[in-house]
Structure 1
Amino acid sequence: MDREILRLAVPAFGALVAEPLFLLVDYAIVGRIGTSAVGALGVAGAALGTLVNLCVFLAYGTTAAVARQVGAGNPRQGIRMGVDGLWLAVAIGVGIVVVGWPLAPVVVEVFGASPGLAAQAVTYLRISLFGVPALLVVLAGTGVLRGLQDTVTPLVVSVGSFALNAVLNAWFVLGLGFGIAGSAWGTVLAQGLGAAVYVVVVVRGARRYGAPLRPDLAGIRAAGTAGFALLVRTACLRVVLVVASVAATRMGDAQIAAHAIAFQIWTLMAFALDAIAIAGQAITGRALGAGDVAATRAATARMVVWGVGSGVVLGVATAVARPWVPALFDAEPRVAVELAAVLWIVALLQPIAGVVFVLDGVLIGAGDRRYLAWAGVWTTLAFLPAAGLVVYAGGGLVALWLAIGVWMAARLVTLGGRAYGDSWLVTGG
């Protein structure tokens, strides 16, 4: 069981960390043409990042659906559902392009960018919109392969496409002098190639098992309906993160800088924990599809152990590295003081995060989407009063992260209570 978890989790972790690492290369390349270009990339990237996070249900929902059919001994139907997910991704992507193109200036204005910066951000955002259908196909294709218990191919495609992105960006921006538009076009082309690889892989799988490739309106509608609950769940997560950032900005420049650094550290560690959750999606869906409740329980218990252990390791590492972290970011003295204090909270929350991430993945793999949506709403409602009290009482950054701790504790209770029961253990295809 440990080998099976690692076989799925390790490549998944590599694919998860590949994107932010190569995005840093994009910032390094664009930074050579001016500060305003970097700011424009940051504004447009924030908008696109929110979009990707909201559409991650295309990967998670497809993983659960395909894995369940594989476990039930019906890979043809699994591929059929994966094809439906790809068609849904194309439909959503085209809709986003049509709606997003005229609204790009409005979206950029929401971020409060200066006129010079805003023009470049609109340029980057509008070009990048052409890559959204391909990006969503990549998400859905990743879900198909994870459902088929393959996390190595997504790793290879992820590394290859983002490496190509770095090469094209350097050529277009620095070599040909296309400016920030060159960076956007390089990303669009790399995303298109990655999507093409997934389409080829899924088409081959469909031909192998005799699954049809034509659009099935009923199947696409079912995939969209199932994905809506995961969309609600993800939207709740984004609300918490945005509210936390807004609360930090009201505390002062040192606090928002420290919060930003602490959040990046939190995100990096979340990738490691999310890799186990992805393994949980694939293993749970397959086991329940096969009707093996005992194996599902055993795998869940083992992955919780992995989550707790990983959280403890990450927490200890954070606590040990805490005195030296501010220097790594060249933080000013005020920022360093705030950051050093907050990192204690970040470290203490890691074991809880380990359990929460794993159980979230297990319940996604079980197809327990409606409960996850309601749990997202209730845990957000637990966080908002805590965050409001921090702002109203003039609490500092440590108090804000304690409010985030309240949110994580609420997630632990809602997910743990559900996993302890039997309602989510629905077997069969």
Structure 2
Amino acid sequence: MRRVAALALPALVVLAAEPLYVLVDTAVVGHLGRTQLAGLAIGGSVMSFAVWLGTVLAYGTTGRAARRFGAGQRAEAVEEGVQASWLALAGGFTILIVLEAAAGPLTRALAGGAGTVATNAEHWLRIAALGAPGLMLGTAGNGWMRGVQDTRRPLYYVLAANALSAALCPLLVYPAGLGLIGSAVANVTAQTVVGLLFVRALMTERVPLRPRPAVILHQLTLGRDLLLRGAAFQACFLSASAVAARFGDAALAAHQIAIQLFFFTALALDALAIAAQSLIGAALGAERVPEARALARQITRAGLVAGGAFAGLVALALLAVQPWFGADPEVYAQARHAWWFFVAMMPAAGVVFALDGVFLGAGDARYLRNLTLVSALGGFLPGIWLAYLLDAGLRGVWIALTVFIALRLVGLLYRLSSDRWAVAGAVR
């Protein structure tokens, strides 16, 4: 467990930095009013497209880099990061162009029509989209560095960028008078700075920086399965925001508070998944299959313990949420509906996130894709639209999220009980 902790603790800080900044951002904007907070909820849901696409790239890169690193091929592991960075740059500019073209229709569709909320969301999104290239480069950099078990430099890079942004956000929103736009400018600043820092890290490694189509093609093949899996997640979370919006501004603002806290705890728990990717990938790359299986069991137990601990913290946090995120009593009352489902799902979520890392490190992306699609199409999406039809409010939205986690837990434990995921070799 010492090796797991040595990788997981720095990764925890890196993972927590971005959602912690989003929580700060949410708190700052929350004091502007409910329509601004609801606009941030809609714009942030759309911008999360870039975040999950970057996460797909990072996870695929970590697994491939870790296998090569475990096989004693460090230079080749870093070259995986070079090719991932080319993909990241192309993807970032593509996202930027698409979001600038579609910001208006997207935000109006999610907000349930034109209005103040949709206008706020569109203005925020058009500025925030400028950070997509830097965001993508940063996630690719995190991916290859985790693969070679270098967690120190990503820690410094992400903390520096997010500290700068956290300081800028309240200054731009209030004294500078930019309001909600100031929040978007602060986001873009952090994402661009961190992207440039990871590019600098690659340049210091003294490996060839030219694109290699064959390696990029292999990464795209792996990315296809992770992309479909990520698309299922995004369909779930975008649907959750869309349904919450149809229950009113207060419900949507409360959902923004609850879902951002969910993302924060999920990414914090995902530190175990990152350690699992690196260690499982390295063990299988070195053809130490029994070690990989033992690590998988240890990480599963650690996920359960961490999830239980977060459940306790989330339960206690309910008392403090209202002063953090504004004083609107209706928003606070709506948030309470989601809270206890959030608490109940945490232990299961800890195991789910840990096992995601195990199977990503093993390169078992196809199974993860299939499981996520089944859980989303067979559980979450029918549940959330049924909640809308039955007028179940925010409580119904969070029941559907809990079912989604439960279905994934069952499928992952079933896969762990077999030996089909533990395939040895430098590249799967």
Residues 235-384 of structure 1: pairs in structure 2 closer than 5 A: 235-250=231-246, 256=252, 258-319=254-315, 339-340=335-336, 342-383=338-379, 384=381
Letter in 2 for 1:305: R
**Paired residue for 2:90?**
91
CA contact (8 A) 1:326 1:340 kept: no
Task: Tell me the equivalent position of 2:103.
Answer: 104
Between the aligned partners of 2:399 and 2:178, the Cα distance in structure 1 is 46
In structure 2, the residue matched to 1:71 is 70
Q: Which runs of 5+ in 1 are unaligned?
A: none
User: Residue in 2 aligned with 1:20?
Assistant: 19
| Residue pair 1:55, 1:231 contacting (<8 A) in 2 also | no
Q: Which residue is 1:164 aligned to?
A: 164
Q: Deviations over 1:86-120 (max 9, x none)?
A: 01111112223333333333334334475677666
2:216 corresponding residue in structure 1:
220
1:47 Cα offset (Å):
2.2
Aligned residue type for 2:406: A
Structure 1 residues 56-205: aligned runs within 5 Å:
56-112=55-111, 122=122, 124-167=124-167, 184-205=184-205
Query: Share of identical aligned residues, percent?
Result: 38
Summarize deviations over 1:245-304 as a string: whole Å, max 9, x none: 444455566655554444343333223311111111111111111111111111111111
Could you tell me how far apart the structure 2 residues matched to 1:335 and 1:188 are?
Answer: 28
Q: Is the Cα contact below 8 Å between 1:131 and 1:189 reproduced in 2?
A: yes
Asked whether the equivalents of residues 273 and 354 of structure 1 are also in contact (C-alpha less than 8 Å), the reply is: yes
C-alpha distance in 2 between matches for 1:214 and 1:267: 35
Correspondence for 2:423: 426
Q: Which residue is 2:406 aligned to?
A: 409
CA-to-partner distance for each residue in 1:308-356, whole Å, 9 max, x for gaps?
1112222234445556656765677776666556433322222111111
Compare 238-247 and 56-65 and name the one that shifted more: 238-247
- Most deviating of 355-364 and 379-388: 379-388
Instruction: Quote how far apart the aligned CAs of 1:371 are.
Output: 1.4
Aligned residues of 1:164 and 1:190 also touching (Cα < 8 A): yes
**Kindly tell me: are residues 225 and 114 of structure 1, through their superposed partners in 2, closer, same or farther at Cα, counting changes over 3 Å?**
same
Q: Which stretch of structure 1 is more off in the superposition, 101-110 or 77-86?
A: 101-110
Q: Over alpha carbons, which structure has the higher Rg? A: 1
Distance 1:329 1:175, change over 3 A: closer
TM-score, normalization: structure 2? 0.86
State the shift of 1:186 in Å: 4.9
- CA distance in 1 between counterparts of 2:288 and 2:32 reads 57
Q: CA deviation at 1:141?
A: 0.4
Distance 1:97 1:250, change over 3 A: closer
Q: CA deviation at 1:67?
A: 0.7
Structure 2: tracts of 5 or more residues without a match:
none
1:213 aligned counterpart, secondary structure: coil
Q: TM-score, normalised by structure 1?
A: 0.85
Classify 1:323/1:214 alpha carbon distance in 2 versus 1 (closer, same or farther; 3 Å): closer
CA–CA distance in structure 2, aligned partners of residues 18 and 242 of structure 1: 23
Query: Deviation of residue 227 (structure 1)?
Result: 1.1
8 Å CA contact 1:382, 1:406 repeated in 2: no
Q: 1:42 offset after TM fit, Å?
A: 4.9
Query: Cα gap change, 1:299/1:115 in structure 2, threshold over 3 Å: closer, same or farther?
Result: same
How far is 1:84 from its partner? 0.6
Name the SS for the 1:162 alignment partner. Answer: helix
Give the total of aligned pairs.
Answer: 424
